[in-house]
């Protein structure tokens, strides 16, 4: 199994397992913008290499200002982190919940970080007939048992959103029950703005609701790590009190500033590509006998045709230079579930070609 550290994108493990160098793999296990970083980001990094002799701004002031301008949010409502994962860690450290709720299947870091910081984890399962979303009644019942709840929006690995009305109801429940609601919006930028179900413009009404976002995925800078949290200033102060000084490096901050200046054209091109290629990839996978969940993000949850199981398909494709994410370890999912990123046309066609070859010409061992 490639996910020895609980995530996709582990090229070192792939190299050890299959004998190819990291740059020889076509990686569908990590959900990164197939367009790569905006040209402004690459140019900014090239121009700024000499700045590594200086400490980064510990207050992240320029990036917070530009985020505030873009999102119409006060800078006191923003905490910049070394990726969304650090933001989640700071939330747990700053708010110190004793009991944390999660809706499975979900991003593994919710449980991993909570247990790492000595919180008990309680969960409910999403339902197959709801594309692995849980009912609001089940979530509200869970919220009665915990101090803090994580919810993916869209959720990973199924890519499905809860409706805005459902989110409002959960945010209201959080206020009345003194529970914190943490909405993980790491992939929401891959959904067209008019289709995004987000409480961003209503956060002032919900001081116990937090939004966590990533710049790593949409702007294709996973090696730099950059994310942020939007929340009430008191919550932000609690998070900042636990953050290690300079945890966000200077090049990441500069890349974030440049990314926000990349303009609407980069965003529009990304959304158009993801929309068209997600549909084409879904069609191709379905023709091969796979079942594909109707997600909205830049990845697809796929059930392989019987009798194939994820770990064996992962191995077969890995030996052919294709990396996929096994989802067999996600509670609520099955041994045949995998996740694949939506990439550029040529890459998606190669995935379908290699998958077809394995399904038609090879057997499980």
Q: What are the tens digits of pLDDT across the range 42-60?
A: 999 999 999 999 999 999 9
Residue 84 has pLDDT above 60, yes or no: yes
pLDDT band per the 50, 70, 90 thresholds, residue 1: low
Written out in words, the top-level CATH class of the domain with range 39-260 is alpha beta
Residue 6 has pLDDT above 60, yes or no: no
pLDDT at residue 8, as a whole number: 59
The domains spanning 11-30+264-361 and 39-260 adopt the same CATH topology: no
Residue 5 has pLDDT above 80, yes or no: no
Taking all residues of the chain, what is their mean pLDDT, rounded to a whole number? 95
The two structure tokens encoding residue 126: 């999403």
pLDDT digits (tens, 9 = 90+) for 134-185: 999 999 999 999 999 999 999 999 999 999 999 999 999 999 999 999 999 9
Each domain of the chain, given as residue ranges in start order, spans 11-30+264-361, 39-260
Q: Which residue matches tokens 């409910």?
A: 124
Which has the higher per-residue pLDDT, 1 or 13? 13
pLDDT at residue 3, as a whole number: 58
Architecture label for domain 11-30+264-361? Alpha-Beta Complex (3.90)
Residue 206 has pLDDT above 90, yes or no: yes
- Greatest alpha-carbon span in the chain: 59
């Amino acid at each position: 199994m490639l996910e020895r550290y609980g995530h996709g994108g582990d090229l070192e493990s792939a190299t050890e397992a299959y004998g190819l160098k990291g740059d020889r793999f076509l990686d569908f296990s990590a959900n990164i913008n197939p367009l790569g970083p905006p040209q402004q980001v690459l140019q900014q990094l090239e121009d700024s290499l000499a700045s590594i002799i200086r400490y980064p701004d510990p207050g992240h002031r320029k990036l917070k200002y530009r985020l505030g301008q873009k999102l119409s949010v006060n800078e006191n409502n923003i905490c910049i982190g070394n990726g969304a994962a650090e933001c989640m860690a700071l939330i747990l450290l700053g708010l110190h919940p004793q009991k944390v709720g999660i809706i499975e299947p979900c991003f593994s870091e919710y449980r991993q970080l909570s247990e790492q910081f000595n919180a008990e984890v309680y969960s409910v399962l999403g339902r197959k007939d709801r594309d692995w979303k849980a009912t609001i009644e089940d979530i509200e019942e869970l919220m009665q048992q915990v101090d803090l709840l994580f919810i993916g929006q869209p959720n990973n690995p199924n890519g499905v959103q809860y409706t805005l009305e459902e989110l409002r109801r959960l945010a209201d429940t959080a206020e009345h029950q003194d529970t914190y609601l943490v909405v993980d919006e790491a992939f929401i930028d891959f959904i067209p703005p008019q289709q995004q179900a987000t409480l961003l413009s209503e956060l002032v009404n919900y001081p116990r609701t937090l939004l966590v976002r990533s710049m790593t995925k949409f702007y294709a800078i996973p090696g730099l790590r950059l994310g942020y949290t939007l929340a009430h200033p008191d919550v932000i102060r609690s998070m900042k009190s636990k953050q290690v000084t300079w945890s966000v490096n200077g090049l990441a901050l500069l890349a974030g500033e440049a990314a926000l200046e990349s303009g609407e054209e980069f965003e529009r091109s990304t959304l158009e590509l993801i929309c068209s290629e997600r549909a084409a990839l879904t069609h191709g996978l379905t023709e091969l006998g796979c079942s594909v969940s109707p997600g909205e993000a830049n990845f697809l949850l796929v059930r392989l045709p019987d009798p194939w199981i994820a770990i064996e398909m992962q191995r077969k494709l890995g030996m052919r230079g294709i990396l996929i994410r096994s989802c067999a370890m996600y509670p609520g999912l099955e041994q045949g579930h995998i996740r694949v990123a939506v990439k550029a046309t040529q890459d998606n066609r190669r995935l379908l070609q290699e998958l077809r070859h394995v399904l038609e010409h090879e057997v499980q061992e």
